[in-house]
Structure 1
Amino acid sequence: MAAMNVSRAIGAALRSPASSPVAEAAAAAKAKDAEKLRFIDEMTCNVDSVQERVLAEILARNVDTEYLKNCGLDGAADRDAFRAKVPVVSYDALQPYIQRIVNGDRSPILSTHPVSEFLTSSGTSAGERKLMPTIKDELDRRQLLYSLLMPVMNLYLSGLDKGKGLYFLFVKSETKTPSGLTARPVLTSYYKSEQFKNRPYDPYHNYTSPTAAILCADAFQSMYAQMVCGLCQRHEVLRVGAVFASGLLRAIRFLQLNWKELAADIEAGALSPRVTDASVRECCNDDWAGIVRRIWPNTKYLDVIVTGAMAQYIGTLKYYSGDLPMACTMYASSECYFGLNLRPLCDPSEVSYTIMPNMGYFEFLPVDEATGAASCVDAGNLVDLARVEAGREYELVITTYAGLNRYRVGDVLRVTGFHNAAPQFQFVRRKNVLLSIESDKTDEAELQRAVERASALLRPHGASVAEYTSQACTKSIPGHYVIYWEL
């Protein structure tokens, strides 16, 4: 579907008059959507002024921190002083500061607001696990971005408030640092937050899974409970999802292995004295093509991230879902939540994200078109969010309320166009995810394309690639990579 102008949709969202309690509730939901769409429009029309305000807020609260003082900033710091004095850094430069916080130093090192916990990488990024300090009001910013997703989706699909979402959401293990602060993945932090646990009822965020099932630390029990709830409410499910494509495939695999026990428990359980619907027993045919549509027949789309490293699962998801649309709705990381996809039902190969300028201060390091490497890391090379050029590739650099200053996230993005004045970016690759042997450099996007071309040879034989990995082999000269396929 062609991109819809968000500003034009605001009027349409307010037109239906309320004439009954149900209509009033629907009108209230539309009015709430219109408010969120208006906010998106305002943010994307005034990118540079919003960015200037955000940086001013960050500097006002953090200019007296040890880190910014060491950079030579004082209480009168402004945008020009920030650009001139604060260096562009990677995690290694911040690690000594972070380690002091980990060990219990409560002085204003990176942020004047107390560090509430540490966020760890989700496991999809390259390199070792990093600890990112965060503060309490970051949860409000994340919650704000989540609140924008369904108003955008409602521009493309109607009736999503008339059913439920089957989302497989899980918490992961967490640890305590010597300072007593928790270290855990960003999504675990969100699911355990009061914002998530005590969220007000919203028909667009009505899940089949109870919060207790999501927060269950035992992965098997959590999956089992969420799957049972999803099966019992299967006619109410309008969308199926997980955070990453791999998570949704793990859920389908769980159903393959445990469907008999799940069906028996549902039939014998208190929820229903007897299950007579034959489609609950779809799995016994050993035909898993389109299983998502067959078990949850009202599903309108899959809500999963299938960009970057997750692109390898697109074919398998199409097989299991019966070619349901796949919506990549938002772009986020442990360091910061960035933005959303204003065309959520586009083809996965066309996904572009609009960075919301209120989430942090964003700068971009141009990537050399010939070498694929970022330009010389000089603060003068950085480009503001409002001044990137269409078609160019950049490495993302962020400054956050929590105290990351001109931090290189490591994501390489390509500018694909603009929504109002806001640039839209396609995720290209992680800058340090490379196959690099015998001086050749192959990034994950190139590897994915190579696997897709090669796997086409399997189609005449009724086989496909479910997953793959690689290993360097230097036993022969020249060295090469061996690609392992799971069929």
Structure 2
Amino acid sequence: MNNLTKEEEAGLAVLENLTSNVKQIQDEVLKEILTCDANTEYLRSFLHGSSDKDLFKKSVPIGTYEDFKPYIERVANGESSEIISGRPITGFALTSGTSGGKQKLIPLNNKYVENARFLSDIRYLVLSKHIEGHNKGKGLHLLFLKPASKTPSGITFLEKFWKEMCSNIRSGQLSDWITNLSCRDSVSKVLGGPNPQLAVTIEDICNQKSWKCIIPQLWPRTKFIECIFTGQMAQHIPLLEFYGNDLPLVSRNYVSSEAFFGVNLNPLCKPQDVSYTFMPNMSYFEFIPVGEGDDTIVDLVNVKLGRHYELIVTNYAGLHRYRVGDILQVTGFYNSAPQFRFIRRQNVVLSVYLEATTEEDLLNAVTNATQLLKSSDIMLRDFTCYPHISTVPGHYVLYWELKGNKNDDIIELIETNVIVECCSVIEESLDALYRKFRSKDGSIGALEIRVVQQGTFDSLMEYFIAQGASLGQYKTPRCIKSSEALEVLENRVMACFFSDKLPHVDTTLNLCWLQIK
């Protein structure tokens, strides 16, 4: 353990207190929220001005965004915050819309900012405990930002632009297309004039045939890479490991537009082992058991080890018993605070017949298939899919953007049978019902992979951003639902491949299917 300052020791003591008194703190949080919000238009219809916890659980329904949307839009259009929140609404977060297909306007207030600061402090303390000197030197943050927009009431990427960056360093002058004056002034101060020697050094590194281990070569004192790699972002782990070599991958916290949830107290763990310890002072949390045959809603302190739950949150900005849409698994406890692993989004499924493929199913299947690419020095840069049902039988179509480890020329790979084999591995990895309908009944056609041009998923991101998606929260949608977004992909297809064999079928499924029918 590192030597900590008195302030850091005091901060960790706060963490110990929080995680040791979860029930008491959760009860206090709910009492505070209900006392403040009991007379809002939304809660008054259920509680009639009462702030009683038992009445809240008995009378207030579990809600989705659609239940809150009319109230939120009224506030966004200039009506009083008290429609939904006893605290003034100071702004809104616009979700990316790439998980469920629709963007959401999430109300925010000063408490959200306070929680953000608190969670940031906790993250800092955890890193201080595990990584020596993490707070010394400089950090590189790749952030996607756009100007804030008002409601009615009130990349550049290194692989693409390194040559231009070196030219700027060599001359000490920024490119003309960078027109923002404050940006130009700030970067010019960092450049400090022409630096031909540094430009040559960077060029020598970036001109290598392979970009393997490029990050520690460009930044030798890098201690870790912080990023999101849980859920659908897990597919980027091989790419991060390729660029970073042995650098630790750190996912520090679990947050959403609706609320802050938890912190990874073991930041140096392997990506597949990441769990988040819920902070009981952030919001009031409830959980619906998944796949247990019991839909009894439980509090944070009553979740069971190993079980899966759908997350419900009551926050400080007017969302009461709100379905976040995330499925979590309890992996352990830190003191009395449960630790959760993110499993998948609840509402992301792919189906062309009677089967239902979850996001987790799809990610696992694609991960299995990409193991075949390693021998060809090829990586999957990004992917998405859509259910092709305009012909019978319908079939799954996956769009893959590939990257060469040594260069970006993937023509040679396309001329081989590797992608065909990937199609078959994906089908073998999907669940028994999919395999039955694909093999025995012929109700599902052969799975297809369409390889797209380099930069296709950048173009897809630009499309969603142009539609109003948040740059800071953008995630590649795993299932395309927009015909316009589909056109972005279709216009860049290089080659198509189909599975050439039927997946195996569990013989025990036939009886089960007869019983279902």
TM-score of the pair, normalised by structure 1: 0.75
User: For 1:95-128, what per-residue CA distance to the aligned partner results, in whole angstroms no more than 9, with x for missing partners?
Assistant: 1211221222116111122211111114553230
CA contact (8 A) 1:13 1:34 kept: no
**Counterparts in 2 of 1:272-351, with a 5 A limit?**
272-277=193-198, 279-281=201-203, 282-351=205-274
Could you say which residue in structure 2 is the equivalent of 1:391?
306
Aligned partner of 1:243 in structure 2 is none
Shift of the alpha carbon at 1:280? 2.1
Corresponding residue of 1:227: none
Aligned with residue 423 of structure 1, among 338, 341, 362:
338
The question of whether the paired residues in 2 share the 8 Å contact of 1:13 and 1:31 is answered with no
Tell me the amino acid that sits aligned with residue 307 of structure 2. R
- Post-superposition offset of 1:408: 0.6
Which amino acid counterpart does residue 350 of structure 2 have in structure 1?
Answer: L
Name the residue aligned to 2:161.
Answer: 258
**Contact 1:119–1:334 (8 Å) recurs in 2:** yes
Q: Which residue of 1 aligns with 2:32?
A: 57
- Is contact 2:81–2:87 with CA below 8 Å preserved after alignment? no
* 2:275 corresponds to which of 324, 334, 352: 352
Query: Which is worse superposed, 40-49 or 123-132?
Result: 123-132
Of residues 367, 370, 373 in structure 2, which corresponds to 1:452?
Answer: 367
**In the alignment, which residue of structure 2 is the partner of 1:168?**
142
1:451 CA displacement: 0.9
Change beyond 3 A, Cα 1:328–1:349: same
Q: Which amino acid aligns with 2:352?
A: I
Q: 1:99 aligns with which of 73, 87, 99?
A: 73
1:271 aligns with 2:174: no
Q: Which residue, out of 376, 396, 402, partners 1:461? A: 376
Distance 1:123 1:306 in 2: 19
Which residue of 2 is the match for residue 484 of structure 1?
399
Is 1:473 matched with 2:388?
yes
Rg comparison, structure with higher value: 2
Aligned mates of 2:23, 2:342 — CA distance in 1: 22
Aligned sequence identity (%): 43
SS state at 1:410 partner: strand
Residue 250 of structure 2 aligns with an amino acid whose one-letter code is: A
Q: How many aligned residue pairs are there?
A: 382
Distance 2:22 2:312 in 1: 16
Distance, in Å, in 2 between the alignment partners of 1:329 and 1:124 is: 22
Is this contact kept in 2: 1:121–1:129, CA < 8 A?
yes
Per-residue CA distance 1:234-269 (angstroms, 9 max, x = gap): xxxxxxxxxxxxxxxxxxxx2222212211221222
The separation in 2 between residues aligned to 1:475 and 1:59, in whole angstroms, is 50
- Which amino acid letter does the alignment assign opposite residue 425 of structure 1? F
Counterparts of 2:250 and 2:208, CA distance in 1? 29
Q: Deviations over 1:128-175 (max 9, x none)?
A: 001111112321111111111121012221011321111112323433
Extract unaligned runs of 5+ from structure 1: 1-8, 15-29, 181-219, 224-253
Could you tell me how far 1:454 is from its partner in structure 2?
Answer: 1.2
Equivalence for 1:116: 90
Query: 1:13 deviation in Å?
Result: 4.3
Q: CA deviation at 1:286?
A: 3.6
**Contact 1:466/1:485 (CA < 8 Å) preserved in 2?**
yes
1:384 aligned partner, one-letter code: D
Question: What residue identity is the alignment partner of 1:351?
Answer: V
- Which has the higher mean CA deviation after the structures are superposed, 154-163 or 400-409? 154-163
Superposition TM-score, scaled by structure 2 size: 0.71
Q: For residues 13 and 358 of structure 1, do their structure 2 counterparts lie closer, same or farther at Cα, with a shift above 3 Å needed? A: farther
Structure 2 residue aligned with 1:413: 328
Partner Cα separation in structure 2 for residue 289 and residue 107 of structure 1: 52
Contact 1:397/1:407, CA 8 A, preserved across alignment: yes
Moved runs in structure 1, 4+ residues, more than 3 A? 272-275, 475-478
Contact 2:47/2:55, CA 8 A, preserved across alignment: no
Cα 1:123–1:313 change in 2 (3 A) is farther
CA drift of 1:343 comes to: 0.8
